[in-house]
Structure formats: C-alpha cells, structure tokens
C-alpha cells in the first residue's frame, strides 16, 4: 500500500509542476484591457456600405469577385465556372476590387466610377 500511495503523491506533484509554469498571475490593469471590447462597432456599418457598393458593380465583376473571394475558388476554377480564361478572371477581380474601394471611399460620384469600370470590363472581355 505504501508504494501505491507514494506513486499517487509523486504523480500529483509532477502534474502540479507541469501545469504551474503555464499559470501566471493576471495583472489587474492587463485584465481590464483584455476583458473589454472597444466601443466602436464600425465593422457592421462598413459591411453595409460594402454590400451596397457591391450591388453597384457590373455583373461580370461582381460574379468574379464573389466566386474568388467569397466562395474561395482559385482563379483557374473560377474561370471554368464563369466560362472564361484565368487571366480574365484575375482582371475582373482586380477591377472589381478597385471599383469597390472607390465606391466605398467616395460619397458622391458612384455613377462615374461604375461607368468607367464597366467600360474597361466590356473592352477587356
């Protein structure tokens, strides 16, 4: 019985020290910074702006952007899905990204940037 109890105590001691080095005391000031979230929730309004801007993109650019970025397909797979070459998909995604950034940052001239990006797409495709 004595060796059995000795083994249990020894294992408990070893287990304590294996875990103890990971357990560090938490500083109160660090806890205040860590356990709170910032008050600004701008990501939700940015998402709504992005959704609205996405609706203003030309259909071919929007399809390419959603296929590659949202669905996660590679450019080659997206080209097969959309029925065009890999280079065309890359071009459409690049132009869609530029137009999307332009639409999200500009407040007034959305129609001008949409027409410019759609005319470049029509010429390239």
Domain boundaries, the chain: 45-124
The whole-angstrom separation of Cα 78 and Cα 86 is 7
Q: By C-alpha distance, which of 107, 114, 109 is closest to 54?
A: 114
Q: Is the pTM of this model over 0.85?
A: no
The H or E element containing residue 82 is helix 75-82
Q: What are the backbone angles phi and psi of residue 73, rounded to the nearest 5°? A: -75, 155
Residues counted in the chain: 125
Residues 45 and 77: their CA atoms lie apart, in Å, by 32
Query: Domain 45-124, CATH 1.10.3720.10 — does that match?
Result: no
The tens digit of pLDDT for each residue in 15-73 reads: 888 887 777 777 777 766 676 666 666 666 777 888 888 888 999 999 999 999 888 89
């Amino acid at each position: 019985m004595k060796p059995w109890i000795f083994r249990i105590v020894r294992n408990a001691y070893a287990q304590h020290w294996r875990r103890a080095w990971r357990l560090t005391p938490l500083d109160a000031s660090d806890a205040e910074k860590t356990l709170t979230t910032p008050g600004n929730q701008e990501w939700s309004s940015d998402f709504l702006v992005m959704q609205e801007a996405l609706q203003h993109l030309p259909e071919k650019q929007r399809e390419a952007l959603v296929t590659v970025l949202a669905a996660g397909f590679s450019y080659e797979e997206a080209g097969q899905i959309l029925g065009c070459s890999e280079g065309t998909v890359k071009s459409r995604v690049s132009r869609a990204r530029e137009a999307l950034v332009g639409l999200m940052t500009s407040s007034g001239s959305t129609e001008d940037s949409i027409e410019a990006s759609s005319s470049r797409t029509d010429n390239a495709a």
